[in-house]
Structure 1
């Protein structure tokens, strides 16, 4: 109900005993504060953001907390006079990148249109509430100091380095306050907030992740994320998603990721067994901090540590570097668990179900004393049973070896009793009632006991049993209370001693898990290690589209070679280089019929860049690139429908964003720009866009049908701009279109629409008239006249 249907559930508990019972709200569980019942392995962020607007220029403060891991992500974005919606676009990207379960929206002034903001950010897909209360600076400092355990002569805001980000600090304070109102226990001991900034990440503009198919709102759609995720641990899965959706521009980090994956390619299988036996230690660590860890989860930690110890052994054999002290630290952690807890008993209990001792003998003497008292009380009952058994045995047939004829019973409403089958009781009733048993120097006569005849048995009770029950139950209440008290203290001790180690383990194992996933994909999908080079360029040999290739219904994907920029030494004489006569290639105009593969080729380039700059291998025979700092897409997709804008409006908005934000190290992928307007304006807009992007020295590929571009005076004799096409022709003999998926020089034929219509066996009358009209338009006969 909480995760799937986005319900908010109010938990009501009661205290006291009848008739004086009071009920109170213990906590409120909403999609974002779902700590106890979260089953999905992906992150579960609750988000708060503030939007401010001044003369159409927006500023945004963003905060996200995953209460299940304690991770806090924050950012602050500001638009400019020339790019007024930049902050909102960045906010949209954050909501797409980091899995969002619930949103609290605060608008800085009443002039901001709530409905427009909701549509622009597509908030209808989230559980969203609007907030009107604000948080003053003093209150923010107080909250942060408490939640992030700050004890410094600096203010909490200064300590977190957020004094220059007022929108961020207030959005975070509002978020923390919201969580406290729901359940103040789950917000304690949070990790220090991570300020995202923009300097180390590849900027992904115009919803590039969704337009390229890296992620999708359709859960049934095969995405790049789903395709390359071969991780075995929950926290490894989260790290892989974080890396893929947040590519970086740090060569040193990327090379380290490549190195590790390359080292594991031939060894990936042996690590799988270990990784699959590791539980979600990231969430377990968070539960430990909050003293909400269930005893059964201690067994999860122990089993995970055992698997990790084996993993480290393999790492050592494969010369994978890690802290040499980690082995001893893990062994110390395991030994502490085994020496402190009876893990077999722990495995039976959630924290609220504890009704037995879960500690090893000797850890807590006062618990051992209570347990001994319990055993002594049960021992009294066993003495009674021994007496009854002796009478039964005396009455049995000679040489019978049967023993244990009576047994102890317990009902919460009645206490302890001793049960005997009706036949055996009948056999010994006279002798039993004439006997007695001595316990602690006191004689207890069976003639004074109570006998309740049931259908097949007899239940025996007595005042002795009532005393035993009273003592036992009193001790049991003390025992359970003491075990729970000591358990909570033990969790605190575990956290103090081993929380840093857990964080170290989580980081190391997640990194190995993602590298193993990368290695598996490299083997299965024939991916190769990208090569980061100096200069300003991109070259791919035998580039493929991984998602289309993985779709069994798509057939064999035909690879292509592509070269952009300059300064990359190449040993390949492929078509892009031929088209440019060896000059720098800043722009490519790509022609071809809609089904020829233009969009797929462009997307494959974008996907390869994202993969490479996230530290993953790429679907190409070889790929060399100098890192891009910005990637923009303008690919026809359904996302514009959500914003309530026309196709042409969205095209122009996204083109404007590209002009405002692109630079020298930018890559722009555009699919049929200006298709939403008439030909003359379309030609002018595309020509102007080409000239603008050439002027800022960006790299771009535009798929287009506008063959008239070759006649635009301003575009002639530009060496950095080349024309390529993906050919198609109608084969009369086989009555079908033949697609040549490989790039070819030039624009190709400008006449192919009717040929496609003909291959569909459309009405002859329609085709005849269409050909006649086309001939009259172009002033000569059709190139493919039948």
Structure 2
């Protein structure tokens, strides 16, 4: 390093410790980057790349950003998935000889951001610590902005870890170097999540209290790894991190990432936005923390009957008490994000404006408590009884803080008059001193007769008396002491002015310094309330979610579901909640569901676009709505508790992962078959369509039989393989249903009604016609279909028909040509043999022998 200047040596020494981050190196009013950091940052941030002399023979690449605009650039880098290490001067340059000492004061990563501009109000920002041993692994989540800490235990391999991390929607994962090699690339490519290495997995002493709820060694290791990483990157107090909440699998319904995506719980598959998802429909919360709570509930529906019924009772009461509900909503409108305010207090980033928001929020609590106390449910009574309004803290903040303080905490104007005696004296000296200056200006104008005389101030010369050169003759001899000469004026001082200047500046300096010191004391005082404020936030956010359920249930005419003890699904006139909302004024066709022990599987047939997938999703969303405590879209509903929901709906490939649509379909189906229990709900749509007809049909039948015989779960299975409908005669718990449609004047009309029985046609050409394919294509398809249908009873009809069609003229340029009849040649000997066979009476061995004989004839 000897070739470089001392400052560049210092940079390289610090950079060596933070090789995985962009190092923002403070130089005066700028953050500078050098070498490779500069080259990459200039491209990513679109800023100018320059260079400077660093002592070596070659100039060093360099780029920089002003310190006041750095947050915008940091935001861009973090949103791209990069880390940023903030390196500040930790010595006063005026009091230092040589290179100023610098240290990294914080490392900002996607999983540890605290800046409000980088956080989404309605979403958590999770970072995960992972530990594993054999087939067991633990994931511990933390949202640094709210302090939430959750622990999970699983069994599985590396793919299972990836699956769970995707379902938990983390932004960053902290792992050992061993796991890093296996997880980092898949996380980056498939989930756009960064992985970070942290070998230390012992829980730091300051976090031991947070681990009281778990003694499992894997959870402790995952927590220790996460805590060690947070301490390394944040380098400040993390007192707001809450005690670990272990997520017990037996208390919640499990929804894997496939199902969350297929059911569009939190975002739509097409646009990847909230609108059109179940979250979009149900989010009638008023507060940001309520919106986050709703998302958490949706991702982990309850599996305990008593807890679900408790929520349902509150929703029922709020639906019947319209005026109480509206009062509650009005009161919640003045509530700020308590969780994140508490986090900022602990983190040391809270401003006076934030604390004013805290005061305003606490001011609303007595009203909210009084409103809740008017409700009669056990949950409401418990919340009202335990709701701590923090009256003393609210009074303290009200006495201390200005109503509208400045954003900066170092420029004064934060503390109210009357809060601190010494501060009031300094303020008085400052205000009176400035009044004395104004009075002196008037006095001097009168004494000299110079009306343009003025008293000004600048940081270099302090206060001065300024007289234009044209009026210099009017100044009495020896009255002023010359201070500065300008082009058109002279500046003077007097002994009295200098003395008053000293008093004023001293008062202002001490006033700002004292205000800052008082604010820090005030912030430390508020820290004592962090845990109770977090508890208050949890209670208020839960109430916010439940009132939102009441609002949407009332508006959409949802009903209170009954939890079935006998495993029965009975829904009368059920609706898909999101589709119904999107259709708005258009009529939605409701459907019934009936599933029980003797009818646990429905095989659904019907034309494309008729609504099979909607019907299947409808049941899953209704189940989820009940198990999060919301009313459901139906006239009547009785539902059991489901421990898991598995779905295979919609076609999607994984180009990045190198997996075809059919492979993705098989992987998701495999996951369901291996994880499902008798108490699960399975939704399988068009299984086997991605391969040949017979392969797909064989797979579909085998899957149906496996679920029926081995799992016994409630299952909806939709298919276009009408041949599978015969399974209803062989499998006692399987029932055929179909989505009805009729053909009127050659056009297809969907009835969207699901009834018992089986469809006899798929109406694929009619759907193509609705999609407005060219008429010439539609007419040609009808001709080809006629040929296929004419030969559908013959085993080798497909092969023979394809050959026959290949011999016809396939010119499609005009409608007239497309309407020509397909001419088929005179039947061959093979065709005659096929026609004479009675396939239904043949054994499999007879069929194979006959097929072999036919093949020999063709050869």
- 1:704 corresponding residue in structure 2: 719
User: Unaligned stretches of 5+ in structure 2?
Assistant: 1-75, 798-820, 823-859
Which of 263, 266, 273 is the equivalent residue of 1:212?
Answer: 263
- 2:406 corresponding residue in structure 1: 348
Inter-CA distance 707–303: structure 2 relative to 1 (3 Å threshold): same
Q: Is 1:5 matched with 2:37?
A: no
Which of 200, 215, 222 is the equivalent residue of 2:276?
Answer: 222
Q: CA RMSD in A?
A: 3.5
Which of 717, 742, 754 is the equivalent residue of 1:729?
Answer: 742
Inter-CA distance 123–263: structure 2 relative to 1 (3 Å threshold): farther
- 2:144 corresponding residue in structure 1: 67
- 1:101 corresponding residue in structure 2: 171
Aligned pairs for 1:337-416 (under 5 A) are: 337-344=397-404, 347-351=405-409, 353-356=410-413, 358-361=415-418, 363-375=419-431, 377-378=433-434, 380-385=436-441, 387-388=443-444, 409-416=456-463
- 1:569 corresponding residue in structure 2: none
Contact 2:253/2:642 (CA < 8 Å) preserved in 1?
A: yes
Q: 2: distance between equivalents of 1:63 and 1:338?
A: 38
Q: Post-superposition shift, 1:293?
A: 1.6
Which of 496, 499, 512 is the equivalent residue of 1:464?
Answer: 496
Contact 1:103/1:127 (CA < 8 Å) preserved in 2?
A: yes
Inter-CA distance 341–407: structure 2 relative to 1 (3 Å threshold): farther
Q: Is 1:260 matched with 2:314?
A: yes
Q: Helix, strand or coil: the match of 1:610? A: helix
Q: 1: distance between equivalents of 2:394 and 2:782?
A: 78
Q: Post-superposition shift, 1:107?
A: 5.6
Q: 1: distance between equivalents of 2:671 and 2:624?
A: 20
Q: Post-superposition shift, 1:40?
A: 1.9
Q: Is 1:165 matched with 2:217?
A: yes
Q: Post-superposition shift, 1:490?
A: 1.9
Inter-CA distance 93–527: structure 2 relative to 1 (3 Å threshold): farther
Alignment length, in residue pairs?
703
Q: Helix, strand or coil: the match of 2:497? A: helix
Q: Post-superposition shift, 1:202?
A: 0.4
Decide which moves more: 236-245 or 686-695: 686-695
- 2:337 corresponding residue in structure 1: 280
Q: 2: distance between equivalents of 1:118 and 1:601?
A: 38
Deviation readout 1:250-306 (Å, 9 max, x if unpaired): 222222222222222324444333322221111111122234321111211122223
- 2:664 corresponding residue in structure 1: 650
Contact 2:175/2:199 (CA < 8 Å) preserved in 1?
A: no
Q: Is 1:524 matched with 2:576?
A: no
Q: 2: distance between equivalents of 1:429 and 1:263?
A: 88
Which of 602, 613, 617 is the equivalent residue of 1:603?
Answer: 617
Deviation readout 1:538-574 (Å, 9 max, x if unpaired): 22211111222233599543110001125xxxxxxxx
Q: Is 1:745 matched with 2:756?
A: yes
Q: 2: distance between equivalents of 1:357 and 1:587?
A: 67
Inter-CA distance 109–724: structure 2 relative to 1 (3 Å threshold): closer
Inter-CA distance 302–105: structure 2 relative to 1 (3 Å threshold): same
Q: Post-superposition shift, 1:415?
A: 1.9
Decide which moves more: 225-234 or 754-763: 754-763
Q: 2: distance between equivalents of 1:688 and 1:539?
A: 28
Q: 2: distance between equivalents of 1:406 and 1:508?
A: 65
Contact 1:728/1:737 (CA < 8 Å) preserved in 2?
A: yes
Contact 2:682/2:714 (CA < 8 Å) preserved in 1?
A: yes
Contact 1:206/1:633 (CA < 8 Å) preserved in 2?
A: no
Which of 92, 106, 130 is the equivalent residue of 1:49?
Answer: 130
Q: Post-superposition shift, 1:196?
A: 1.6
Q: Helix, strand or coil: the match of 1:207? A: helix
- 1:402 corresponding residue in structure 2: none
Inter-CA distance 494–725: structure 2 relative to 1 (3 Å threshold): same
Q: Helix, strand or coil: the match of 1:256? A: helix
Inter-CA distance 747–68: structure 2 relative to 1 (3 Å threshold): same
Q: Post-superposition shift, 1:198?
A: 0.8
Q: Is 1:541 matched with 2:597?
A: no
Contact 1:527/1:618 (CA < 8 Å) preserved in 2?
A: yes
Q: 2: distance between equivalents of 1:647 and 1:69?
A: 39
Q: Post-superposition shift, 1:329?
A: 4.0
Contact 1:754/1:771 (CA < 8 Å) preserved in 2?
A: no
Contact 2:127/2:142 (CA < 8 Å) preserved in 1?
A: yes
Inter-CA distance 758–342: structure 2 relative to 1 (3 Å threshold): closer
Aligned pairs for 1:559-638 (under 5 A) are: 559-566=590-597, 584-638=598-652
Q: 2: distance between equivalents of 1:637 and 1:419?
A: 81
Q: Post-superposition shift, 1:343?
A: 3.3
Inter-CA distance 29–765: structure 2 relative to 1 (3 Å threshold): closer
Decide which moves more: 10-19 or 696-705: 10-19
Greater RCO, 1 or 2 (C-alpha within 8 Å, sep 6+): 1
Q: Post-superposition shift, 1:501?
A: 4.0
Contact 1:693/1:699 (CA < 8 Å) preserved in 2?
A: no
- 2:92 corresponding residue in structure 1: 16
Q: Is 1:182 matched with 2:214?
A: no
Q: 2: distance between equivalents of 1:488 and 1:585?
A: 67
Deviation readout 1:118-159 (Å, 9 max, x if unpaired): 44x67543241352x5225xxx13x1x2135x3xxxxx86x4
Contact 1:29/1:182 (CA < 8 Å) preserved in 2?
A: yes
Inter-CA distance 107–556: structure 2 relative to 1 (3 Å threshold): farther
Q: 2: distance between equivalents of 1:757 and 1:489?
A: 72
Contact 1:591/1:726 (CA < 8 Å) preserved in 2?
A: yes
- 1:312 corresponding residue in structure 2: 369
Contact 1:62/1:76 (CA < 8 Å) preserved in 2?
A: yes
Q: Helix, strand or coil: the match of 1:596? A: coil
Which of 200, 212, 219 is the equivalent residue of 1:135?
Answer: 200
Contact 2:174/2:195 (CA < 8 Å) preserved in 1?
A: yes
Which of 779, 785, 791 is the equivalent residue of 1:764?
Answer: 779
Inter-CA distance 757–637: structure 2 relative to 1 (3 Å threshold): closer
Contact 1:729/1:737 (CA < 8 Å) preserved in 2?
A: yes
Inter-CA distance 161–750: structure 2 relative to 1 (3 Å threshold): same
Q: Post-superposition shift, 1:757?
A: 5.0
Q: 2: distance between equivalents of 1:652 and 1:643?
A: 14
Q: Post-superposition shift, 1:469?
A: 3.1
Q: Helix, strand or coil: the match of 1:687? A: helix
Q: Post-superposition shift, 1:68?
A: 1.0
Q: 2: distance between equivalents of 1:297 and 1:8?
A: 26
User: Unaligned stretches of 5+ in structure 1?
Assistant: 80-84, 151-155, 397-404, 435-444, 567-583
Deviation readout 1:216-260 (Å, 9 max, x if unpaired): 364336211122212221111110110111111122222222222
Compute the TM-score of the two structures, normalised by the length of structure 2.
Answer: 0.74
